[in-house]
Chain A
Amino acid sequence: MFDRRLLQNFEWRLLALCFTLGVLGLIALYSAVSAGSPAPQTALFYKQLVWFGIGSVLMILAFALNYKILDKLANFIYVGCIAMLGAVLVMGKYAGGSRRWLLLGPVSVQPSELIKLVLIIVLARYYSKLTKTNGYTLRELIFPAFAVLLPCALIVKQPDLGTAMLLILIAGSVTLFVKIERRSFWILISGATVLAPLVWFFLKGYQKQRILTFLNPDRDPLGAGYHIIQSKIAIGSGMLSGKGFQHGTQNVLSFLPEHHTDFIFSVFAEEWGFAGSVVLLAGFMILIIWGLSIAYRCRDPFGVILSFGITAMIFWQAFINMGMVMGLMPVVGVPLPLISYGGSSVVTNMISIGLLMNISMRRYMFDS
């Protein structure tokens, strides 16, 4: 099964790009955790290294086995992941105001990261079984809607509004990509515009507050609003060439919240300036172009939709995260792929990139 043609088509450059981004992330992470007051948390750096190791192994698995078996396993994986999300609500670890982690022996796993990829697989399976050129009708969209709203509901409960919105964005992108039938599309749009005010009317006061703050961080000058100001100062003060490795001042003084997870890009941009930011941005851009070109060259609908979905997932996370730290987007807990600290995020993204390689390698092979 593993013949030479596969090796010839192996995506070395994609692998190199993935590791380059990973190394940039580790550099930023080292700076973020070693300088933090009051107590440096360098242990996090080594944990992240271990996660990259685990991610690499899973990545090899992800491209070694033919991706078409995912078509068959999709439903099992989905049900398993939903079960984990349910378990998080019951017995998850509580930290920092929400319940997001499942303790499995020595490691804590964040199922809401894994579900991003699992959802894409399920949608790819559904849409590829029922291909259409003139778009899907409302009736045909019932299953995908259910598949995305179930995990969303469980994630909102944690609560993690950001990840839930991200799931809807990813599923929405994939669905728009495979096309919604014109009339159904307009019905959906008008339905949403009518329903939104109605839903708003039924929300409780504090829920409205939370959404308003989400949309406009300035409403919360002591929390999100303050964090965005500090983040903008950090990024802006990096100027052209940055302050240098471990010389960021915003980072050092624990001005930045979550400086090793969601706001790690601010640390990076402060220390490496516009030059570094553009390099990182270019890295992500190449990754997205690469992903889309893999979809472009693939000839099997499942592979096309899967690779498109993965690319969309990476794009949205990168776009929302960078937009957020620069004050363009709501403040939501979306990690920067391969850069932010977090085992589940790293592993999910590395498996995803492994799948991209997989699809690319097998583009000439029609039967497995």
Chain B
Amino acid sequence: MSSYLKSVDTDWYKQRLSGAMLWAMAGFFLLFTRFFYLQIIEGEEFKRLSENNCIRLQTIDPPRGLIFDAKGSLLVDNRPSFDLGIVARDARFLEQTLAKLAEYIQESPEALMEKIRSSKGVPSHKPVILKSDIDRDLLAVVEVHKFELPGVEVIVRPVRNYAFGSNAVHLIGYVGQINAAELKTERYAGYNPGDLIGKCGVESVYERFLRGKAGGRQIEVNATGRVVRVLKTLNAKSGHNVYLSIDQNLQEKAESLLAGQAGAVVAMDPRNGRILALTSSPSFDPNSFVTGMSRADWETLVSDANHPLENKAIQGEYPPASTFKIITAMAGLEEGVITEHTKIFCNGIYRFGNRDFRCWKKEGHGWMSVVDALAESCDVFFYEVGQRLGVDRIARYAKACGLGAKTEIGLDHEGAGLIPTSEWKKQRYGVGWQRGETLSVAIGQGFNLTTPLQMLSVAAAVANDGQLVKPYVVDAVEAGDGTRVYEAAEHAAGRMPASENTLAIIQKGLWKVVNGNRGTARIARIEGIHVSGKTGTAQVVSRKGSDSFRKIETRKHLKSHAWFIAYAPSENPVVAVSVIVEHGEHGSSAAAPIARDVIAAYLGKNQPVDEAALDNEVR
């Protein structure tokens, strides 16, 4: 311990401490004078200000960013909404004021009182909304009688206006009030109860761009709540504008084609992943969320058997059915279990073990090559290819083509689908893979599940000579002054595991689906343009039929889902389309014409080719 005292003795510290003491006392003196100033000298003034809690904060909601389509048509903007509110503590006396107000706006005073009672969370100096979005007539009445109505306020705030109603609603989404659970999350730090946020779609994903920054006013009010003075104002900053990649005209066309049916249509530029149209049917009007929906309306919406709230294009998971044959063909060619010239005989039935697996064509296709099997969608051919490959090799190719995983399109709730493997089945069900199940997988039935968007990516990648691209829906985000704050960039998402040769064979098959004289989708031909595609018919129940033990409400629920994926022009593709029609029965009859019309509309060709005339045309 003595070593401590070598250089520094306690007197030295004492001297330093005296200095510190002086500084501390100066600090306390400063605080003391401030107390004296605030509480004694200025006390009266502060007392007056505190009496009615005079200094208040009014928030100014920022106008949310606008949403445009690729060509600059305005899809979503804002309109002013006039809300009638009351600050309970300023409405002296509350009952009288409410009685008068009730008379002017023709509502019962009890109902109004109930609204105030049920608004427990609102501090008493903040207005309780009695009626939102009142019309101009009512507004005039209230403004005229303003002086008899202490505490009553008309609050103007911008609300969302979806110019095209239900159009592209699944892509754009809608806004709604933030809920208690969302308020607690880190994502919504800085939000307050009552704030509007994007609830789904682009409105939700691009929330941070669209929202803008709230402004506000510090105001001094008198005893009846009227503003005496505005102390400070901070203007709200409007949100950034979002430019979608979709084309409003094409979008409308796609929606009209799906009208009355449940399903989805997605179109994309295969070269870069720009989504050109994305629709899901049935849809709903997002404007009804803005003003507040009645409970009954909400119930109908959520209990609708066709799930209008679901975005079937990215959330709907369906067996890919025959569209999956693209994958099986690719795996077969790449693994060498078949070549372009391998022929397999189809007599309509494929016997495996003691079970018969049927081809959709009862009488059989005869000798089939891979190109013809794609064109005519022969099941037996692919049963055999599947059997040669085994499920795990098929799954490897499917996954490498982006199936079984999200495409990362940048929208919430995207489905990943499912690509079964023997290991997966073991884990999921505890039993090993049955070789017969491989047959179902090879033709896209069984456990296989894909979204329309995933199958669109497959079609696009075939069109794009094997290059997979990440789909996207927003081209750019611009600030109010026109500066770009975000710009879409192409993202390569890997290559299909297929050689040029293999791809050429598949492309030939898909070309023949539409253009061959026995192709399954001859209906999809367009004058002057070659379309390539693949049909699919996804069974809802097994073809063997399980009617006996299923309660059937309507026959419709047993009908198959119709698929068609396509791209055009075949030689130099600029558009790819994926269509699913739930319970549309056949891909060829229900889905292919929709894809055809979307392609024709996009390429500016409005005349489908006369079928009869084309049937005779031999390649």
Please determine whether A226 and B31 come into contact, CB atoms closer than 8 angstroms: no
Question: Which A residues lie within 8 Å of B215 (CB)?
Answer: 222
Contact, CB under 8 Å: A289 / B21: yes
Q: Which residues of B contact A239 (CB under 8 A)?
A: 39-40, 43-44, 47
Please count how many residues in chain A sit with their CB below 8 Å of the partner chain's CB atoms.
62
Does A102 sit within 8 A of B, measured CB to CB? no
Give Cα A301–Cα B124 distance, bound, in whole angstroms.
Answer: 57
Segment of B50-58, B152-160, B297-305 engaged in the interface with chain A: B50-58
A289 to B23, CA, bound (A): 11
Pair B20/A308 contact, Cβ less than 8 Å = yes
Least CB distance from A104 to B in Å reads: 21
What are the residues of chain B within 8 A of A133 when measuring CB–CB?
7-8, 12
- Cβ-defined contact, B17 with A308, below 8 A: yes
**Chain A residues, Cβ within 8 Å of B121:** 38
Question: Considering the chains assembled together, what is the distance between the CA atoms of A278 and B121 in angstroms?
Answer: 36
CA distance A254 to B193 in the complex (A): 15
Cβ-based interface call for A62 (8 A): no
B-chain residues with CB within 8 Å of residue A237 when the two chains form the complex: 43, 46-47, 49-50
- Name the residue on A nearest B8 (C-beta): A131
Contact residues in A for B40 (Cβ distance below 8 Å): 239-240, 274
From B13, B21, B31, A322 is in contact (CB under 8 Å) with B31
Over the window 222-251 of chain A, the binary record of Cβ atoms lying under 8 Å from chain B Cβ atoms (1 yes, 0 no) is: 100110011011111111100000000110
A195 to B536, CA, bound (A): 69
Contact between B7 and A131, CB atoms less than 8 A apart: yes
Docked Cα-Cα span, A312 to B36, in Å, equals: 25
Q: Are B39 and A301 in contact (CB under 8 A)?
A: no
Instruction: Determine whether the beta carbon of B20 is less than 8 Å from that of A304.
Output: no
Asked if B481 lies at the interface with its beta carbon under 8 angstroms from chain A, I say: no
> B225 CB to closest chain A CB, in angstroms?
14
| Contact count A vs B, C-beta below 8 Å | 157
- Is B57 touching A250 in the complex (CB atoms < 8 A)? no
Task: Say whether B8 contacts A253, CB under 8 Å.
Answer: no
Are A323 and B31 touching (Cβ within 8 A)? yes
When each residue 12-51 of chain B gets 1 if its CB lies under 8 Å from chain A and 0 otherwise, what string results? 1110110011001101101110111011101111110111
Q: Which A residues form the contact surface with B (CB < 8 A)?
A: 37-38, 94, 97, 128, 131-133, 173, 177-179, 221-222, 225-226, 229-230, 232-240, 249-250, 253-255, 269-270, 273-274, 277-278, 281, 284-285, 288-289, 292, 295-296, 298-302, 304, 308, 312, 315, 319, 322-323, 326, 328, 366-367
Q: Which B residues fall within an 8 A CB radius of A? A: 1, 4, 6-8, 10, 12-14, 16-17, 20-21, 24-25, 27-28, 30-32, 34-36, 38-40, 42-47, 49-51, 53, 55, 57, 59, 120-125, 186, 189-190, 214-216, 218, 231-234
The 9 A-B residue pairs with the shortest CB-CB distance in the complex, in nearest-first order? A236-B46, A237-B50, A239-B43, A221-B232, A131-B8, A222-B216, A274-B39, A236-B38, A237-B46
8 A-B Cβ contacts within 8 A?
A133-B12, A179-B16, A226-B55, A236-B47, A295-B13, A312-B20, A319-B27, A328-B31
Given contacts A238-B43, A278-B35, A328-B34, 20 further A-B contacts (CB under 8 A): A177-B16, A221-B216, A221-B232, A222-B218, A222-B234, A232-B38, A233-B49, A240-B39, A249-B51, A250-B50, A274-B35, A281-B31, A281-B32, A285-B25, A292-B21, A304-B10, A319-B31, A322-B31, A323-B34, A367-B1
